[in-house]
Amino acid sequence: MPTISFNGPKMTKEQKAELVEAFTDAASRVTKIPKAGFVVYIHEIGDENVGVGGELLLEKKKREGTL
C-alpha cells in the first residue's frame, strides 16, 4: 500500500482534508494506482520544533515580525 507523508505547519481540519484529497488524486493519476490504495500521513510541526539557520523558527518569526 503506497504511503504519502507530509511534514508541515499546523492546519485546520478543512485544510488537511483538501491536502489529502489533492495528494491522493495526483498520486493516483500519475501511478495509475486506485485512490483507495493510498494512505496519507500528516505530521504537524509547530514553529518551536523547527530550526532554520541555527535558530528556532518561532524566534525567527518573532524577530522578523511575522508571528
pLDDT the model gives residue 67? 73
Please tell me the pTM assigned to this model. 0.80
Domain membership of residue 24 as a residue range? 3-64
Q: Residue 50 sits in a domain of what CATH number? A: 3.30.429.10
As for how many domains the chain has, the answer is 1
Radius of gyration of the chain measured on its C-alpha atoms: 16
From first to last of its 67 residues, the chain has per-residue pLDDT tens of: 899 999 999 999 999 999 999 999 999 999 999 999 999 999 999 999 999 999 999 999 999 988 7
Cα–Cα dist 20/58, whole Å: 26
pLDDT for res 58: 92
DSSP letters, 19-67, are HHHHHHHHHHHHH---GGG-EEEEEE--GGG-EETTEEHHHHHHHHT--
pLDDT score at 46: 92
